[in-house]
Amino acid sequence: MAMEIPAEVRRYWLPILLFTAGFLFQLLVLPRHFPPTHYDVLGIERFAPVERVVEAYERLSKEWLSETNHQPTVDIIKIRYAYELLKNPILKRDYDQFGLDEHMDVLERVKEQYQKEHFLKIDLPLLKDSVVSLTDDAFNVLTHESFMSAIAEEYPLIILVYSKGSPRCAQFIEYWKQISARLDGIAKTAMVEVGDSHLAGHFAKKGFSKQPFFRNGVPAIVAYPANCRSPSCYMRYLGGLFVDSVVDWVATSVVGLPRILYYSKEALGPQFIGKSGHHKVKVIFFSSTGERAAPFLRQAAQEYSSYASFAFVLWREDESQIWWNSLGVESAPALVFLKGPGTKPVVHHGTFSKSEFTEMMEEHKHHELRQLRSDTSLELGCDARGHSRAGNDAAIWYCVIVAGRPGVELSKKRQILRKAQDQLIGDVDRSAIGNVANSVEISSAATALEDERLTFVWLDGEVQKQICAFYLATDYSGACGPRGFEDDNDKPEIFIVRFQRNATYEALKAEKKNNLMEALQGQQTDASQLVARYKGPDEIQEINRWISQIIKDGDSREIPYFTSKVPDLVPEETSKEWLRSTKSIRSAGKSLKENIGFHFQDYLTDPRIGSTLLMCGCISFGIIWLRNNKPTHSTQQEKAPKDKTKRPRPKLSTSLFGQPESIADVEPKDARQWEMSDSDSD
């Protein structure tokens, strides 16, 4: 049988709970967060000068040597540790201003080692000197004046808060050099010594005791984003003190650069190559360490996001044969450029600098056969509103286009047209080729390509249905528009567009402009266009002969000049991945997690919690006691007269049909009878 809880306990359960929580907090929780200070160990007042520390230690050390001394060795170790720490000016300054005590591991180790030994066997001194020396001129130590000018610059600013006497800072200073080197060109770095109490205190947190402190000690890292001009809008780094972690945080959260993801050999094809844009060059980095992408690579990924997609692959020796057979990669580190279907991968083995990588990106940022898009049509010279790649002086120019739905058939046609382009480029570079007759037949195309009046491109007929159908006119179902259900009839088409601008005609038309709106908008006349479709075999030599004949006829014949409205290219969806900003500014370094209680332990150091719980317990006890002891006889007497004067509720009588009785059937008390003169009694 379960024991029944007494009625009084059930009645006063809330005060009991609050009293218990308050006493436990005051007796157990609070003392753990407010241990005795090193000044208390020496028996002197807090913030006492070094002279008082020495006097207190000498007085206590005399007691150790007395014959009547029976003080435990652990207590002697605590006294010696407090003496050495408070005697050092730098360590005492850090302890007094920010509560920094980074040698507690030394204290615990010595206590465990000598707790059963005599105190004379302790190896002294307990604390070894560790001073941070900044002999390198690359370190930028800020003062209050230089700090205000540093945050006003356009570059992000990363600040390391350090202490000259901290062993952790002495070890981290080499990592900081590597971090500064990796962030070169992305963000500026600087340092603040905790001796500058005004500036270092600005970056410290303040608890309920109002004493500034650094949650994880020093070194501490804060950052000012590029669009931050106020001293209070910095961001606080809360992660591990590793080079890769700090650099990744700066590049992602502070600068807002995109991440470059790692892919396995199974996911590289379907998840990266298959899903990235068809028009983009695929840039693949092979890493043997698994480190995140360097900031300059992520910056390049953002700058070249319109031209290329980027991925990382972790190099494994058991997969080396796969990468050699598929991409020609022998070892890591390596860099691979994939410039379209059927093209040979461009492989670079070894490391590279930022400038070397920029040169390689400029050289390989385009497919060997580029895509005709809304953002590249003018650049490629395949837009009737613009001019050729040669400039405004060229009156006639040409654009060879292969159009179709993305797939296997279009990839084959693109490879054929790319090889035809490569053959013409070879004719331009070489003075002669093996077959003289062929050289003569394709010389017009080679000359036009050399003069930048000829461009080879491919068109996504599924997305650009309108302009694809406009150029092909009829029988375009296999090349233009989306695929239907179970429609595998892909027939990419090759055609050439001849553009011509008649300077005389356009000048006359400009003079006749009388429409005010047209003049204000500055509408430009489209160039004249003629389209010819290729009907021959898929042979490179035949395609180049056909192109050369078209160019020869187009340049030599007088063709009537006419224009027609060409459908606009549909703007392709841009990748939102590179445009998504990951940086945010948090006032005074407070993140959302901190505001909702991520650091709940801060509230455990508030001595007001225990007293508040005890006060709430007293208030709740008093309220419950008053409610239970309030007299009830007065309320019963007040209810009695109310019952006597209460009017009875009238009863409603209803007739057969639910209607109340007629008011005429009820005789009033003061009613009188009146005799009628013409009554029947007469």
Give the three-class secondary structure for 617: helix
pLDDT value of residue 579: 42
Query: What pLDDT digit, counting tens, does each position of 178-192 carry?
Result: 999 999 989 999 999
Query: What pLDDT digit, counting tens, does each position of 419-443 carry?
Result: 999 989 888 876 444 544 445 566 8
Q: Is the pLDDT reported for residue 573 higher than 80? A: no
* Cβ count within 10 A of residue 642: 8
Query: What pLDDT digit, counting tens, does each position of 618-627 carry?
Result: 898 888 888 8
At residue 102 the predicted structure's pLDDT band, cuts being 50, 70 and 90, is: confident
* Residue 282: HSE in the Cβ half-sphere, 13 Å Cα cutoff: 22
Q: Is the pLDDT reported for residue 239 higher than 80? A: yes
What contacts 463, CB < 8 A, 6 or more positions away?
570, 572
DSSP code per residue over 21-71: HHHHIIIIIHHHHSPPPHHHHHT--TT--HHHHHHHHHHHHHHHHSTT---
Contact 347, 336 (CB under 8 A): yes
What contacts 275, CB < 8 A, 6 or more positions away?
none
At residue 584 the predicted structure's pLDDT band, cuts being 50, 70 and 90, is: very low
The two three-digit tokens of residue 473, written as one number: 């006119």
At residue 589 the predicted structure's pLDDT band, cuts being 50, 70 and 90, is: very low
Global pTM reads 0.73
Q: Estimate the crossing angle of helix 540-556 against helix 408-429, to 10 degrees.
A: 70
DSSP code per residue over 65-120: HSTT----HHHHHHHHHHHHHHHSHHHHHHHHHH---TTHHHHHHHHHHHTTS-GG
In order of their start, the domains of the chain are 38-121 (1.10.287.110), 144-254 (3.40.30.10), 262-364 (3.40.30.10), 369-432+440-507+525-570 (3.40.30.10)
CA-angle at 507, arms to 506 and 513, nearest 5°: 90
